[in-house]
């Protein structure tokens, strides 16, 4: 796709659509609504998800993802038309991933796929650029495209793409026009990892449309059932096992809790077995993946929202979870952990309560405080205001769009 006027942004992601990455689709929608802006979407690999959220469905027919044959033809095209640039790319990619053969193999596949994207974009005109989500393979592919055809790029860094794998990060940052990240915690990490870069690194949150979340300040009743909700994929770094162990510790508050877990994932069988082992099977409901409407309904009805995030054994951890923004926007009392950018959103004692990651006793105490401490409605109001002020989707996208506009004009 080409354009002769205005700004044209090609979004590049690893997989599309992902049920856990609706924040990217919301950003696509909001940016596409800006006057004078055209938006496309590209991916590298196929999505493993069978469920597609309604918000993503209009983008699926527009998705451009190279086939194996297109990737091979793209590589031959790059070899024939830009051999020096391609050799440089291969040398730098191999050198940048030598310590991990598994990552190197995937990086080389990414190069092939990037060649196909570059071939498709080679006849662009006007202010066309790539914006990649994630600093790993999408940013690598955007960098390859720049080496081959000179197209400018920017990227947004989130979580695992900084905490688990920083291969070639300095190179990707140095050659980008703009680097965006979602928290001050991440910004500091990038600065420490890339101390010599001149590239601007800006914090722009992945926000939510607060108008879609009805605000109801609330406190749990003094007696009876407490409905606790967690919305998170069933992966180690989300900390579900810590939450189950905290619940099993018991106590006046914990014994009243019925826990609802929304999200699918690889740990379903393990967590189901743990709940049974701890004697919690009749108090824990694994709902699996749900639609956005179902999630909003669950948020509206819960008494307490808990996201017990931890650092996984492979180093994976949260960035700044959208689920916490949604919970605060709804007015739900909220508990999470002191990890990465979370304290920038869940401010201990102000908008919610925090525990140390991986500490069931501390999590139990934080949940107890969220239920029993005075001032629940004031914390709800403070949480909603913080989300409206700093995480409103339209504000975040306008900020990103204005920065991309300025780069295109320059």
What DSSP string describes 121-132? HTT--SEEEEEE
Residue 1 has pLDDT above 60, yes or no: no
Contact by Cβ (8 Å): 137, 113: no
d(CA 110, CA 107): 5
Give the pTM: 0.89
CATH code for the domain defined by 210-390: 3.40.50.2000
CA dihedral 151, 156, 161, 165 (to 10 degrees): 50
Residues 215-244 have a mean pLDDT of: 96
Name the class of domain 7-207+392-409.
alpha beta
Confidence of residue 5 (pLDDT cuts 50, 70, 90): low
Same fold, 7-207+392-409 and 210-390: yes
CB within 8 Å of 36: residues ≥ 6 apart? 5, 6, 7
Instruction: Choose between 287 and 4: higher pLDDT.
Output: 287
123 CB neighbour count, 10 Å cutoff: 8
C-alpha–C-alpha distance, residues 295 and 155, integer Å: 29
- Rounded to whole angstroms, how far apart are CA atoms 115 and 290? 36
Whether the per-residue pLDDT at 107 is higher than 90: the answer is: yes
Identify whether the C-beta of residue 342 lies closer than 8 Å to the C-beta of residue 318: yes
**Closest Cα partner for 125 from 156, 150, 147, 154?**
150
Q: Mean pLDDT throughout 192-209? A: 94
The C-alpha torsion from 112 through 400 and 322 to 168, rounded to 10°, is 40
d(CA 344, CA 342) in angstroms, rounded, equals 5
pLDDT single digits (tens) 41-74: 999 999 998 888 889 999 999 999 999 999 999 9
Q: How many CA atoms lie within 13 A of 305 on its CB side?
A: 32
Is the N-terminal amide bond of 142 cis, ω within 30° of 0? no
Asked if residue 381 has pLDDT above 80, the reply is yes
Could you state, in order of their start, the residue ranges of all structural domains in the chain?
A: 7-207+392-409, 210-390
Which residues are within 8 A (CB) of 49 and not within 5 positions of it... i.e. 6 or more apart?
17, 18, 19
pLDDT classification of 124: cutoffs 50, 70, 90 = confident
Question: In this structure, are residues 328 and 299 in contact, taking their beta carbons and an 8 Å threshold?
Answer: no
Banded model confidence at residue 102, pLDDT cuts 50, 70, 90: confident
């Amino acid at each position: 796709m080409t354009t002769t006027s205005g700004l044209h942004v090609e979004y590049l992601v690893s997989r599309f659509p992902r049920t856990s990455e609706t924040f990217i689709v919301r950003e696509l929608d909001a940016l596409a609504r800006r006057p004078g802006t055209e938006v496309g979407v590209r991916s590298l690999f196929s999505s493993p998800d069978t469920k597609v959220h309604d918000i993503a469905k209009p983008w699926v027919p527009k998705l451009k993802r190279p086939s194996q044959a297109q990737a091979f033809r793209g590589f031959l095209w790059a070899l024939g038309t830009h051999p020096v640039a391609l050799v440089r790319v291969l040398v730098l990619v191999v050198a940048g991933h030598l310590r991990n053969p598994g990552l190197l193999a995937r990086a080389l596949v990414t190069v092939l796929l990037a060649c196909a994207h570059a071939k498709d974009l080679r006849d662009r005109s006007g202010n066309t650029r790539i914006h990649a989500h994630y600093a790993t393979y999408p940013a690598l592919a955007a960098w390859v495209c720049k080496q081959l055809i000179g197209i400018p790029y920017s990227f947004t860094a989130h979580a695992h793409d900084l905490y688990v794998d920083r291969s070639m990060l300095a190179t990707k940052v140095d050659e980008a026009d703009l680097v965006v990240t979602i928290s001050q915690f991440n910004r500091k990490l990038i600065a420490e990892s890339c101390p010599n870069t001149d590239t601007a690194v800006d914090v722009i949150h992945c926000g939510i449309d607060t108008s879609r979340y009805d605000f109801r300040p609330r406190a749990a009743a003094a007696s009876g059932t407490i409905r606790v909700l967690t919305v998170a994929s069933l992966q180690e770094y989300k900390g579900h096992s810590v939450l189950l162990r905290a619940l099993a510790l018991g106590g006046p508050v914990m014994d009243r809790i019925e826990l609802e877990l929304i999200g699918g994932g690889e740990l379903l069988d393990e967590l189901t077995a743990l709940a049974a082992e701890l004697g919690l099977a009749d108090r824990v409901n694994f709902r699996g993946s749900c639609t956005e409407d179902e999630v909003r309904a669950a948020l509206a009805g819960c008494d307490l929202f808990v996201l017990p995030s931890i650092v996984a054994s492979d180093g994976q951890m949260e960035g700044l979870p959208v689920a916490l923004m949604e919970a605060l926007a709804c007015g739900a009392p909220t508990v999470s952990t002191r990890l990465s950018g979370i304290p920038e959103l869940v401010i201990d004692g102000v908008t919610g309560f925090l525990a140390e990651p991986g500490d069931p006793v501390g999590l139990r105490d934080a949940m107890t405080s969220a239920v029993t401490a005075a001032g629940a409605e004031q914390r709800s109001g403070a949480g909603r205001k913080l989300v409206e002020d700093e995480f409103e989707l339209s504000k975040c996208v306008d900020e990103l769009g204005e920065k991309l506009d300025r780069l295109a004009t320059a």
